[in-house]
Homo-oligomer: A and B are copies of this chain.
Amino acid sequence: MKYVYDFAEGNRDLKDLLGGKGANLAEMSNLGLPVPPGFTITTAACKVYLDTGEVPVGLSDEIGEHLASMEKAMDKTLGDAEDPLLVSVRSGAAFSMPGMMETVLNVGLNDESVHGLAARSGSERFAWDSYRRLIQMFGKTVLHIEGSRFDEALDAAKKANGSDDDLDLDADDIRELVAAYKEIVAKESGRDFPTDPREQLDLAINAVFSSWNSDRAVLYRRQERIPGDLGTAVSVVSMVFGNLGMDSGTGVAFTRDPGTGAQGLYGDYLQNAQGEDVVAGIRNTLPLSAMEGVQKQAYDELLQTMAKLERHYLDLCDIEFTVESDKLWMLQTRVGKRTAGAAFRIATQLVDEGLIDLDEALNRVTGAQLMQLMFPQFDDEADKTQIGKGMSASPGAAVGKVVFDSATAVEWAGRGEDVILVRRETNPDDLNGMIAAQGILTSRGGKTSHAAVVARGMGKTCVCGADNLDVRVKRRYFSAGGGVQVSEGDVISIDGSTGAVYLGEVPVVPSPVVEYFEGKLDPDSEEADDLVRGVHRLMNHADDVRRLKVRANSDTGDDSRRARHFGAEGIGLCRTEHMFLGERREHVQRLILAESDEDIEAALAALLPFQRADFVEILEAMDGLPVTIRLLDPPLHEFLPDLTDLSVRVAVAEARDEPDEEAQTLMEAVQRLHEENPMLGLRGVRLGLVVPGLFKLQTRAIAEATAELIKAGKHPIPEIMIPLVGAVQELEIIREQTEQVLADVADEQDVELHALIGTMIELPRAALTADQIAEAAEFFSFGTNDLTQTTWGFSRDDVEASFFSQYLELGIFGISPFETLDFEGVGELVRIGVRKGREGRPDLKIGICGEHGGDPESVHFFHEVDLDYVSCSPFRVPVARLEAGRAALLGGGSDSR
């Protein structure tokens, strides 16, 4: 088995073996680009080392051979006293794990070779500082010495020098520091710092292998759902130096603007500097174009190289390079990250340039990017004062007055003010404030913090971890550095898509992409820019290639019309709960408090005209398209006041000797209906079976609305959906009564009435017995919200605020299972339900109407398991259309049906 690949032996398809970094270095090398010589040790070698604690037999010899040819290529010898070859030892796995594993630079320096480096580079200080860094990195990474020990020695040196800046240390100071560092190594590790260059190299390689299993790497992988047994590759690369004088330098560049998608080079350059200086931002970089004036030859070569890379990768490339004494070296490349707008623009540009076809262009954009483009955004043109930057935790543009606690948020919002809740971090006590606020801003915590998780769950704008802000809750202000202080009541604006925090009100502009979807912006008109045109082209292509249909969840005529604009091909979930609220509530209470069958019938009869009118509006809005109407799902006591409130009202009235009879009556009814766990109680089909007439009323309203529209020459297509079915027997009974009502109304109205009758699959038992249930159902619709709740045994309302953020941090979830379907658990039930359902009824129509229907990753899953359609909120319909197209191109699923 071969464990070491020279760059010339690899290519970009070998990521599993060589890691992303190694594979791309090899690819560039083979393109004839100037990559410093080097080789990559495979992940297979790492796995052996991790399993056995020993490197595989033969690895050492292989490394020796590759090292020799590298020395030959560079015409230098590792650690040579006169002209030493130095190498970096870099980690790099198949999946990007930024900053999680170790790297050791400057391997090859010792008490002799440091002189050679000084002579060759002409800088004593540079040589000794490189040596110092090697000992520090090696000490921490290989010998596991606390980094603080080295920092203390450095601080002592600076103090002795009367300065607090590293740069004030001269070569002699640093030479002394090297001696001190070596003492630290000897004392802390019990061994001397190894001066043999090859020993340095071997130990560094093993240390990088081991860093695959560092605590932070393990946690990161658990969070990102990266398998733990892949191992990392290790690339050993000749060191090149951008800080050897004004004919040297270093930079990062993109082949197009990753922010806007604009064509042409984009990047930063820094003369006489090393890569870490660019990243550290200590010195001001030049725009890449300015390089032409100072290092024309290297610049021209860079331009050619980047053009070559883009034509080769057929995509925006992101590179790192160094110029050492006028010689260009390419240190890294990869397909570059970009903003949502840039993604759409670049994809269509590349089509126009003939580099890729529309299928590939569609593959290059994502539903998540489209979603970002659909949020309202702050006006680009407006004057803005940015005072902070955090993580883009939940997208959107929110403007409001700063408040510092939940109670104030609720109070101010209650009187009609827009507020932004600002906290160091949030906890479950902040829930009401988060609900009341337009947006949430925290100074601590990342994308898995409580604030981020809960805000995303609510679809509320959130910026978190804006760590330049110092939040003083008790003193009711936060400071943002530079003397900026924002008090409670001051207005700020936060951008959940970029993480920016602005002082004052920034004007919000509607998304042109949404205007396009709404038909208000013609993509072929002058007003439309290339972004809208790009979206238009790719959406059309997605619609051409997708197999999954896309419907919307909508309970009203307005939403249904909107959904149709957004491309919905029907309503997948029309909830009927709201039809029992508002002015209808009195009849519902009458129904609940009824003491005789006559009372029940009268209350139901009073509700009929309301329901009928609701259905007429929705069916008319979706004329000619199917509308799946779900019969009543929530428990009846949801239509009554809260038990604790009522009990307090009754008790206080009694304490005051002014008995409140109405409250008493209501309280007794609520007590009678009270359930400890209403989500697991008398609701859905159970309610339909236990409260006679309830589902019949709803079916009659649907039937009469349908008959009315048919007589008016329309084409209503209602589908009746029974919620919360766990056993086919439940469905059989309701099905029979539903068919009877349809037949009765057809007779009465003298029209032909047809409606598919189906059920939600939202309980594990429904999925497990789907073969039986399918015998009584013409369609299934997976209710993945409830299915997630019952499969995991937690209710979203109760647990999202109480432990989801901790679960995300512990890596138990990679993402909330309410955002992206839990493919392994809930998804397994979906697979079982689909398989058994089609066993029971081969032509069963199967969809999904939980919120996952609009989640990009989940759409791919639903395509793969061969659903017929997804249904999601109107706003997510374009996202689902796009992802359904992408899923069809990626394959999976069956096209045979």
Residues of A within 8 A of B (CB): 222, 428-429, 643-644, 647-648, 651-652, 655-656, 672, 675-682, 686, 689-690, 724, 726-727, 729-730, 733, 762-765, 768-769, 772, 786, 789-795, 797-799, 802-803, 806-807, 810-813, 822, 824-826, 828-829
Contact = CB atoms under 8 A, between A and B. Distances in A.
Given A726-B825, A793-B726, A679 B677 contact: yes
A476 B652 CA distance: 34
A155 to B, nearest CB: 31
A644 B647 CA distance: 7
Given A655-B652, A686-B803, A791-B763, A677 B726 contact: no
B793 A763 contact: yes
A46 to B, nearest CB: 22
Contacts of A762: 793
Given A652-B651, A680-B679, A825 B768 contact: yes
Given A730-B812, A762-B793, 15 more contacts: A647-B647, A655-B655, A677-B797, A677-B798, A681-B798, A681-B802, A689-B803, A727-B813, A727-B825, A729-B810, A764-B825, A765-B793, A769-B825, A772-B824, A786-B793
Given A644-B644, A652-B652, A803-B690, A794 B428 contact: no
A189 to B, nearest CB: 26
Given A652-B652, A806-B689, A822-B765, A793 B828 contact: no
Is chain A's binding surface mostly helix, strand, loop or mixed? helix
Contacts of A824: 768-769, 772
A686 B805 CA distance: 12
Output the residue of A677, A686, A811 with the most chain B CB within 10 A: A677
- List the number of copies, as a whole number: 2
B764 A798 contact: no
A826 B791 CA distance: 12
Contacts of A803: 682, 686, 689-690
A651 B650 CA distance: 10
A798 B676 contact: yes
Contacts of A727: 812-813, 825
A724 B652 CA distance: 41
A724 B790 CA distance: 12
A675 B431 CA distance: 13
Contacts of A811: 729
B676 A797 contact: yes
Contacts of A682: 798-799, 802-803
Contact of A681 (B689, B765, B795): B795
Nearest to A668: B429
A829 B811 CA distance: 26
Contacts of A729: 222, 810-812
Given A652-B655, A682-B803, A733-B810, A828 B768 contact: yes
A680 B794 contact: yes
A775 to B, nearest CB: 11
Nearest to A827: B768
Output the residue of A689, A727, A812 with the most chain B CB within 10 A: A812
26 contacts: A644-B644, A644-B647, A647-B647, A651-B652, A652-B652, A676-B797, A677-B679, A677-B680, A677-B795, A677-B798, A681-B795, A682-B802, A686-B799, A686-B803, A689-B803, A689-B810, A724-B793, A726-B792, A727-B812, A733-B810, A764-B764, A764-B793, A764-B829, A765-B822, A765-B826, A769-B824
Nearest to A824: B769
Contacts of A651: 648, 651-652
**8 smallest A-B Cβ distances: which pairs?**
A765-B825, A680-B795, A764-B764, A763-B793, A729-B812, A681-B798, A648-B651, A675-B798
A802 B429 contact: no
A8 to B, nearest CB: 41
A504 B829 CA distance: 56
B681 A680 contact: no
Contacts of A656: 655
A652 B647 CA distance: 10
Nearest to A802: B682
A680 B790 CA distance: 8
B792 A765 contact: yes
Contact of A429 (B672, B680, B794): B672
Nearest to A825: B765
Nearest to A771: B824
Contacts of A807: 689
Nearest to A427: B672
A791 B765 contact: yes
Contacts of A829: 764, 768
A738 to B, nearest CB: 16
Contacts of A726: 791-794, 825
A768 B791 contact: yes
Contacts of A764: 764, 790-791, 793, 825, 829
Contacts of A826: 765
Contacts of A677: 676-680, 795, 797-798
Given A765-B825, A824-B768, A791 B793 contact: no
A681 to B, nearest CB: 4
A680 B791 CA distance: 11
Contacts of A810: 689, 729, 733
A335 B260 CA distance: 86
Contacts of A644: 643-644, 647
B798 A680 contact: yes
A811 B648 CA distance: 42
Contacts of A763: 791-793
Contacts of A802: 675, 681-682, 690
Output the residue of A643, A803, A811 with the most chain B CB within 10 A: A803
Contact of A790 (B648, B793, B812, B828): B793
Given A652-B655, A811-B729, A812-B730, A795 B689 contact: no
Output the residue of A790, A803, A829 with the most chain B CB within 10 A: A790
Nearest to A653: B655
A772 B825 CA distance: 11
A428 B222 contact: no
Nearest to A762: B793
A794 B681 contact: yes
A643 B647 CA distance: 11
A682 B796 CA distance: 11
A727 B792 CA distance: 9
A802 B763 CA distance: 19
